[in-house]
Amino acid sequence: MLTSQQLLLTSSSYLNGLKTIFINTNTSAMSEDSYAASIDLLRRLDPKNVSRNLTNLCRLVPDLADELLSSVDQPLQYRKCEESGDNFLICDYNRDGDSYRSPKSNNYYPPLSGEDAELAPKPLNDLRELEVFANDSFDIYRDLYYEGGISSVYMWNPNDYEDETDINDITNGFAAAVLFKKESDVSSSIWDSIHVINAEKISPETFIYTLTTTIIMSMEDSDAEQGISLSLSGSLTRQSEKKAAAKSYIDHITNMGTLVEDMESKLRNMIQEVYFSKTRDVVGDLRTINKVSNLYNEKSMQSEVIKGIQGR
């Protein structure tokens, strides 16, 4: 299994577009080209079919399957935490084999046994304390903005520890995935937010937080009576970063919280613009409801009016 650091690297490599950072030093130039082409292909094909297209792509190039599966964002799925009874979101950051770690109980489901259970990453001490507080805080945020849905936060240490340094130590930094899923209760619309944050210490008590956010949204509105079918789906990805002081884990959550909140507000506006304005403008450009000749007349009339105003 890939380590968390490798996952973070592949994730940011996807987001940087085709400028890929390879985790395997022996990856040949050939597979680097195929990887870039695979990412480009998934950027073009219908985002509604991303999971199916990704599976097919892995069949075509099995050598790239691990990299592709860990770097391409797909709609979030959830599992049930048997101990707390709550649902939690799953992603590559809380996965070990076929099991996923619940942020509530810190247990893997389905349960791991023997050596697998011992080797599976599990945050403890400071890192787990931060994770628990993050889950509580972002759950309140979820309630305020989403009024429903599920949220999960996972944390890990992205730094390379060859010595005996404790991986649960957060003094030099940490990484987090903050996830939200909301299924509309009035329609079949779905919203998934995937935030990956890297917090790095740059001076005593000052951290730089790097955020990469992908929001996946899909909507359908089909109407048998009118014979119309419509699907509007896709994802947008943006990055942001912030430098801020942090003396306690509460400061960390405040810094991460405001960063995520600002990014979600910005992306929500962007989604509204792209999904509902830009696409509709293109439709109106392809076929005009008014006669083209009328539109020209209107335009020339408008320019006459403007000339008239300017001439005054």
Partner 1 sequence: MSEIDSIIAEFLNDAPAGETRDVINDLKLILDQTPDITKSIKRSLESSLVDQDKFEIISLPDAKKLSIISKYNKKGTKFYDSRLKKLFNVQFLDNSALDVEDEEDDEESTALFKSLATSLEKYVSEHYPLNNSQKLLAFDLFQLSATEIAIALINTKRNASNFINGTWVSAYKYNSETGVLKGNISIDVHYFEDGNVRLKTSKSVESSVAAEASEIITLIKKEEESYELALNKKFLKLNEVDFKSLRRPLPVTRAKVNWGKAIGNYRLGKDVNQA
Asked if residue 46 binds partner 1 (CB under 8 A), the reply is: yes
Q: How many C-beta neighbours within 10 Å does residue 103 have?
A: 26
**CA 40 from centre of chain:** 18
Window 171 to 200, contacts with partner 1 (CB under 8 A):
182, 184-187, 189-191
Window 204 to 233, contacts with partner 1 (CB under 8 A):
217, 219, 221, 223, 226-233
Asked if residue 301 binds partner 1 (CB under 8 A), the reply is: no
Joined tokens for residue 283:
């439709």
Q: CB of residue 258 vs partner 1: minimum separation in angstroms?
A: 6
Site string for partner 1, 80-109 (x = CB under 8 A): ------------------------------
Q: What is the DSSP string of 10-46?
A: HHHHHHTTT----S-TT--HHHHHHHHHHHHHHHHS-
- Give, in order, the Cα–Cα distances in Å from 127 to each of 25, 77, 149: 30, 24, 25
Asked if residue 36 binds partner 1 (CB under 8 A), the reply is: yes
Q: CB of residue 309 vs partner 1: minimum separation in angstroms?
A: 25
Q: CB of residue 135 vs partner 1: minimum separation in angstroms?
A: 12
Q: How far apart are CA 196 and CA 250, in angstroms?
A: 19
Q: Which of 25, 85, 144, 247 binds partner 1 (CB under 8 A)?
A: 144
Interacting span for partner 1 (CB under 8 A) from 20-28, 105-113, 123-131, 249-257: 249-257
Window 271 to 290, contacts with partner 1 (CB under 8 A):
271-272, 274-276, 278-280, 282-289
Q: How many C-beta neighbours within 10 Å does residue 142 have?
A: 21
Q: How far apart are CA 194 and CA 178, in angstroms?
A: 6
